[in-house]
Amino acid sequence: MPEPRVWQLTAGSAVLGLALAAAAATAAGPWDGGQRTAERARAAAPARGGEHHPAPAAAPAAPRVTEPAPAPSAPGVLTAVSGPAAPGARPADLARTLVPLLGDPGLGTARTASVVDTATGRQLYGEGAGTPMTPASTVKIATAAAALSALGPDHRITTTVTAAPDGRTVTLTGGGDPTLDEARLKALAGDTARALEKRGRTAVRLAYDTGLYKGPALHPIGPNENLAPVTALMTRAGRLDGSAHGPAPRSGDPARDTATAFAALLADAGVKVTGAPAPGRTPQGAPLARTDSAPLAELVERTLTHSDNDLAEALARQTALAHGQPASFRGAEKAVRDELARLALPLNGARFADGSGLDRSDRVSALLLTTLLTRAADAAHPELRPLLTGLPVGGFTGTLAGRYGQAPAGAGLVRAKTGTLTGVNTLAGTVVTSDGRLLAFAFLAGKTPSPDLAQPALDRLSAALTGQN
């Protein structure tokens, strides 16, 4: 993923925010020209949420004290619009701005904060920044970072069909891709039928293999509209309606449903399937056919934009496989932590009980989140850039599409991952300041009275950063 994309987006977002302030922007504002491919393809669909309100590696290192190489920012663009850039804010000035906002009763009785200048790595403000808190969905930033670091942004997840040595049975094998959809499944059936025809086969039995994943398929929260059973084979994350993201009715057995649909598609392609699909093991040998997911960079962007729980759990398990760990909740937890430790991140007290943030046992600090975002802005880590490009745009896309009505200064300038559980509200992302600097921030609140009170308070906090100069 080429480095300039995120900074093109940053600059575009900055221009948009200034244009909005001057009442000159339209719905197709300049941010759209810098929007990354995955978001353009998906943000057009009406947002349906994505948040949830359910009743050997190196040892972790201390927070980084050295400064990364300065990353490109937006001053050049802003100078053309509003004149020369002003000097950066002093921590004392920022504290005077944030402390009253952090005192908002809507943020409950436990709150932590971290604000970092991404170009220097300098923490500009911290309040309990190193204290582990329940992150809710902001843990997806850590999940995505571990996957990108372990596998690279070009990694794809593969679903295959393999024939038995005698040719009488073919096995549909799940690789852990929850984005497999009906169109790709139909294409896979067509490719399989053509391969069988070349072998002179017109009838087969169908088996399906989900053995790549280990351990329980159900998340500890149990059956839930926010997450399908976590299995290596599924179509559209087991959704039973036409939705693409957000809560939805889910299949109790997505693998069997996918195999049943595949059998029907094989029949449509001229291959008779005898008997009902049954679980089985993949035979040795080269696959007859395969279908690949989008590159990992795009999967990460989709995960963050729409807070996709199913994709987040898939990313965690892909990280487990890369580390030689079982592809289970427990194996993924160890692999994610080990990969982040390899990056020398501040992991004191951190726990990654799941990849999605639905588990209240998850713990991360505001400092860990801002360090991850700062690392993603560092030119030395282009593999982590999708952490920034995948963040929803305040007031425009994903889980932030309907927010910033009470804090309009943040619209177009704040990009952030949201987090919501009952009594937990969090926000972590980046913001472009009035002098064109890119700041990383994380605000974690616990024991909050309601999302209706907490979310606007978080929006006001992040929006306040746009006025720093």
Question: Is the CA virtual torsion 447, 311, 381, 359 positive or negative?
Answer: positive
C-alpha–C-alpha distance, residues 463 and 429, integer Å: 11
Catalytic residue numbers read 137, 140, 307
Instruction: Say if CB 413 and CB 14 are below 8 A apart.
Output: yes
Tokens of 233: 């084979």
Tokens of 136: 């809710």
How much helix, strand and coil, in percent to the nearest 5, is found in the chain? 40, 15, 45
10 Å CB burial of residue 456 (0-12, 13-18, 19+) is middle
Hey, what amino acid is at 433?
A: T
The Cα-based distances of 82 to 18, 74, 117, 435 in angstroms read: 9, 12, 21, 9
Instruction: Say if CB 412 and CB 17 are below 8 A apart.
Output: yes
10 Å CB burial of residue 149 (0-12, 13-18, 19+) is buried
**Rg over CA atoms, the chain:** 23
